[in-house]
Every structure is written in structure tokens, then in C-alpha cells.
């Protein structure tokens, strides 16, 4: 006597519950120190049930990374739309990234952590691949904007466009991550500096990118 399958809706609902609870736990205690039992308990499901929706612990984790990347992507797009010329769009892309870090520290931590653990990444796993691709897609936005900036004259022309894209990308992600780390550690940092360094970075970038006259 076969039962009918759960509706897609229902499946998504359950996944969402699990991810919601897992997100809290992973964020608080890290991947290694969070057990499937805890996640099951927090989700008010049986341990085995989690495995119906996620094939293993890593899969669950990557789902969160992916979701984080989606949020980031949306944020970037919405920030970009508000600006007119390409330079401002690029700067806003940086601001969006900073905003992502500030508003979704949990998702941010997954995205970053995921990237730090390249050694564990198994290129066979589909979740890993799709996460790659999403990340790639965001980078493509930046590359496009740089091209536009060169066209509309809002950024200086004496810089190699590919190198610039790479540099900005690496630089922005890197600086936010380092900021996050240092913030906790160097409490003796000049407070004013700490508070404003990310915004300062955007200004700095602006000065550097805009054409000199």
C-alpha cells in the first residue's frame, strides 16, 4: 500500500526548519562541535529524519553556505540597482558585501568558513559544485561592472581590467574577513579606527578607481 509522496512544499518546509536550527547551532559552536543529535533535537525531529532531507552532515552544511550565497547575491543586486554609473555600482557592491557581513553574520561565517576549508571539499559532491557556481556568478557581476565603468568613463582607464576585477574581489572579501577576525582580537585597536575601517576602505577604493584629472 504505497503512500503518496510528500508535496514539494512540505519537503521545503521541513528542510527550512532543519536548516534554521542547524544555522543557529553551527554558528554558535562550529561545524565540528555541533552534532546531528543536537540538530535533530532542536528541529524536533528524529535523527533519522534529518537524513531523509540531507544526505549527511556536510550536505546540510553546504545547503547553508548556498543559501548564504543567495542572500548575498540578492543584496548585491539590490544595492547595484540604486546606483547609476558603474563606479558607484562597484562601490555599492563592496558596500553590499559589508552589509551582508553586518546583517547576516551567521551566513557570512558559513560562506567564509566554507571557503577556508578547501581541503575538505570533494568536487564530486553536487552541493559543492553548485556552491562553486553560485560564487562564480557573483564574481561575474563584478567583472561586468568594470567593463561598464571603462565604457562610461567612471573609472580610470590605465588599469588592466581583469587584474582589477580580481584585485577588488580578493581585496574586499579579504579585508572584511580580516576585519572580522581582528575586531575580536585587538581590542586595543583605536576604537574609531575599528568602527570605521570598512567604510574607510570604500572611500579609499573610490579615490583609487576614479579617473585623475
Partner DNA sequence: GATGAATGAGCCTTCATTCAT
Partner DNA sequence: GATGAATGAAGGCTCATTCAT
45, 83, 173, 210: residue in contact with a second copy (rule CB under 8 A): 173
Residue 181 makes contact with a second copy by CB under 8 A? yes
Assess contact for 146 and 155: CB atoms under 8 A. Answer: yes
Binding of residue 204 to a second copy (CB under 8 A): yes
In the numeric block, the cell 551567521 is attached to 106
Among positions 80-109, residues that touch a second copy (CB under 8 A) are none
Of the residues 10, 13, 16, 30, which one makes contact with a second copy according to CB under 8 A: 30
Distance of alpha carbon 160 from alpha carbon 143, whole angstroms: 12
Burial per residue of 172-201, b for 16 or more beta-carbon CB atoms within 10 angstroms, e otherwise: bbebbbeeeeeeeeeeeeeeeeeeebbeeb
> Residue 163, interface with a second copy (CB under 8 A)?
yes
Residue closer to DNA (CB basis): 61 or 101 = 61
Q: Residues 14-43: x/- map of binding to DNA (CB under 7 A)?
A: x------------------xxxxxx-----
**C-alpha cell belonging to residue 116:** 577556508
Rounded-to-integer distance, Cα 21 and Cα 45, Å: 11
Residues 6+ apart with CB under 8 A from 132: none
Name which position in 37, 55, 78, 190 contacts a second copy (CB under 8 A). 190
Binding flag, residue 56, a second copy (CB under 8 A): no
10 Å CB burial of residue 160 (0-12, 13-18, 19+) is: exposed
105 binds, among DNA, a second copy, none (CB under 5 to 8 A by kind): none
- Judged by the rule CB under 8 A, the positions of this chain that interact with a second copy are 2, 28-30, 32-33, 46, 113, 115-120, 132, 135-136, 139, 159-160, 162-163, 166-167, 169-171, 173-179, 181-182, 184-186, 189-190, 192-194, 196-197, 200-201, 204, 207-208, 212
Amino acid at each position: 500500500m504505497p503512500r503518496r509522496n510528500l508535496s514539494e512544499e512540505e519537503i521545503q518546509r521541513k528542510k527550512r526548519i532543519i536548516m534554521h536550527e542547524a544555522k543557529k547551532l553551527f554558528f554558535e559552536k562550529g561545524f565540528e562541535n555541533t552534532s546531528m543529535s543536537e540538530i535533530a533535537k532542536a528541529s524536533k525531529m528524529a535523527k533519522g529524519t534529518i537524513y531523509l532531507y540531507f544526505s549527511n552532515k556536510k550536505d546540510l552544511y553546504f545547503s547553508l553556505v548556498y543559501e548564504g550565497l543567495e542572500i548575498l547575491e540578492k543584496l548585491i543586486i539590490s544595492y547595484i540597482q540604486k546606483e547609476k554609473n558603474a563606479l558607484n555600482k562597484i562601490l555599492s557592491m563592496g558596500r553590499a558585501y559589508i552589509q551582508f557581513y553586518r546583517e547576516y553574520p551567521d551566513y557570512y561565517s558559513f560562506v567564509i568558513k566554507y571557503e577556508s576549508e578547501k581541503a575538505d571539499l570533494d568536487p564530486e559532491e553536487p552541493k559543492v559544485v553548485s556552491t562553486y557556481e553560485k560564487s562564480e556568478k557573483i564574481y561575474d557581476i563584478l567583472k561586468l561592472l568594470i567593463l561598464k565603468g571603462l565604457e562610461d568613463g567612471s573609472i580610470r582607464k590605465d588599469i588592466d581590467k581583469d587584474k582589477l576585477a580580481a584585485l577588488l574581489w580578493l581585496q574586499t572579501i579579504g579585508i572584511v574577513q580580516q576585519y572580522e577576525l581582528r575586531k575580536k582580537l585587538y581590542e586595543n585597536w583605536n576604537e574609531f579606527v575599528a568602527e570605521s575601517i570598512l567604510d574607510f576602505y570604500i572611500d579609499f577604493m573610490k579615490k583609487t578607481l576614479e579617473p585623475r584629472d
